[in-house]
Structure 1
Amino acid sequence: MNRIDLLLREARGRLADGAEAELMLAYVLGQPRSWLFAYSDAAVADELAQRYRALVARRADGEPVAYLLGQRGFWSFDLRVTPATLIPRAETELLVELALARVPAGRAARIADLGTGSGAIALALARERPAAQVLATDVSAAALAVAQDNARALALANVAFREGDWYAPLQGERYELIASNPPYIAEDDAHLEQGDLRHEPRGALASGADGLDAIRVLAAGASAHLQRGGWLLIEHGWNQGDAVRGLLRDAGLVEVATERDLEGRDRVTLGRAPAG
């Protein structure tokens, strides 16, 4: 018999994270997770039970839950994600918070999110700062299509999309704030062959022998694309704060600092174009 509690027990026996078993069953049944516990003895149709077991098998084989469900929560909304996009992480919300603190509400600021992926950063900023004009770029046409779908789903009219590598799509324009969560893992890092990272696009994860190639490009080009007093914010690895601060200072930015995430790890480094 296919019953909710029995299906969950079966799935928990195969998965390390019981919450993932609940998320996937709620998804298959089209119900919130709380419904599973209120109706734990409810019967599940054979077709739905088979679909659920197939998802559990794929997760047990290592596929990320976000790709299996086609979505991941970020900020205050859900985003569609596919294997063409990086899976948004909660720690990236720090980058959004720091950006919002530098763009007052009501200001018609120009903001760019370089390497937008699913659109997480750009769409969060566009939603929180409706007076701003946000540009989201990505070198991947497939990722950019996902970001555009997410913008439409959120009914955001103040975000535009351009395809291209880092600063190339900015076409000589200047912005009040440029944000990016670029690839920052070293290409030979063993973590790339572990867990969810095995399934995410390598180009969105790894960048050169030390993981800093993309960040070097972002730092070097910032002055040509920031307004006077404008900010560059970059997410990076926990052990890269010193190096990224050096790159931003070498590029002529001032007020350079690194902010830590909720676990006390270096996460975002920012710098400002000189005001004069």
Structure 2
Amino acid sequence: MIINQWLKYSSNFLKKNKISTYQLEAVILLSFVLKKPKSWIYGFDEKIINHKQFIILQNFLKRRIKGEPIAYILGFCEFWSLKINVSPYVLIPRKDTEILVDVVLKKIDHNIKKILDLGTGSGAIALAIASKYNFLDITAIDVSNKILDIAKYNAKKLYIDNIIFLISNWFSNLKNNTFDIIISNPPYISLNEYFNFKTQLKFEPMKALISLNNGLADLNYIISKSFKYLNNYGWLILEHSYKQGYIIKKILKIKNFKNITQYPDIQGYYRVICGQKILS
């Protein structure tokens, strides 16, 4: 089969199985298997796909129509222009989370030295920040070696060496360390929301998605504990769901955070919030 035939066939196949970005995904899969850029595929669309490549592509299509995210099929995604390796042990970094990175970068000045990334997963957030400012001392934590091995691999692959990776259940292994900025994209989906979106999320780790108390338990815990681990004038910066902005702002006020600011996503929903620790 030649390239243009396979593209037509695979696009139709994905479209029939309700994959909305069927044409783009067909090209992405082919580009990956052929190890050629997308521009090459369009320019040489009469080249032959060999039997081995065809078998791999067919397997990828079968996995995709079952709902498996394309990032897990390929083993990587792009975040903040970085190629981030992922696996089913970690969440796939979302475009909206780049807002969190942007807010953190705007807070960095000569007073900011130490940053804590709670629940680092693939390491995407910490790596994006470290790639911009190599003078920072970043600690990135998560709950298992299976998760942290992926983040460590990404750091090594990107030649980033100013991140310490540590196993910790939130703050449990941090001892008396304090930080200038604490950031987190914690679980914030309720059980009801998860089951409503289960078909889209079923391949991703549930523990990284679901939080008790209507999605607020982990956010509330982080806000409650983080004051102890922040230096004076330090910032707590969090991602949350588009429904949680009001209540998270209220919790930050109750916990005595100042200069609370909310930031919208590309659709205009508040998805990131920050608060500052200020002791008189």
Question: RMSD value over aligned CA atoms?
Answer: 1.2
Determine what percentage of the aligned residue pairs are the same residue.
33
Counterparts of 1:53 and 1:65 in 2: how far apart (Å)? 14
Distance across 1 between alignment mates of 2:210 and 2:276: 26
The number of residues matched between the two structures is 273
One-letter amino acid matched to 1:24:
L
Asked if structure 2 preserves the Cα contact closer than 8 Å seen for 1:26 and 1:32, the reply is: yes
Structure 1 stretches of 4+ with a deviation exceeding 2 A read none
1:141: Cα distance to partner? 2.2
1:228-266: per-residue Cα shift (whole Å, max 9, x none)? 000000001001000111111111111112110111011
Structure 2: stretches of 5+ with no match in the other structure: none
Give, in whole Å, the separation in 2 of the partners of 1:260 and 1:141: 33
Choose from 192, 211, 215 the match for 1:211: 215
In structure 2, the partner of 1:42 is 47
Q: CA deviation at 1:24?
A: 0.7
Q: Deviations over 1:29-85 (max 9, x none)?
A: 111111110111110111101111110111011111000000000002100000000
User: Can you list the C-alpha shifts for 1:126-180, whole angstroms capped at 9, x where unaligned?
Assistant: 1111111011000132111100000000111110100111111322211000000
User: Of residues 30, 36, 41 in structure 1, which corresponds to 2:35?
Assistant: 30
CA contact (8 A) 1:108 1:133 kept: no
Q: Aligned partner of 2:277: which letter? A: A
Work out which of the residue numbers 248, 264, 268 in structure 1 matches 2:268: 264
Distance 2:47 2:25 in 1: 20
Counterpart for residue 68 of structure 1: 73
Distance in 1, matches of 2:251 and 2:178, equals 20
How far apart, CA to CA, are the structure 1 residues paired with 2:250 and 2:57? Answer: 49
Task: Give yes or no for the alignment of 1:233 onto 2:237.
Answer: yes
Does residue 80 of the first structure (1) align with residue 79 of the second (2)? Answer: no
2:112/2:180 contact within 8 Å kept: no
* Structure 2 residue matching 1:14: 3-state secondary structure: helix
- Stretches of structure 1 lacking an aligned partner (at least 5 in a row): none
**In structure 2, distance between residues paired with 1:192 and 1:202:** 12
| Pairing partner for 1:185 from 189, 200, 224 | 189
C-alpha distance in 1 between matches for 2:279 and 2:24:
49
TM-score by length of 1: 0.96
Residue among 155, 164, 168 paired with 1:164: 168
Letter in 2 for 1:130: N
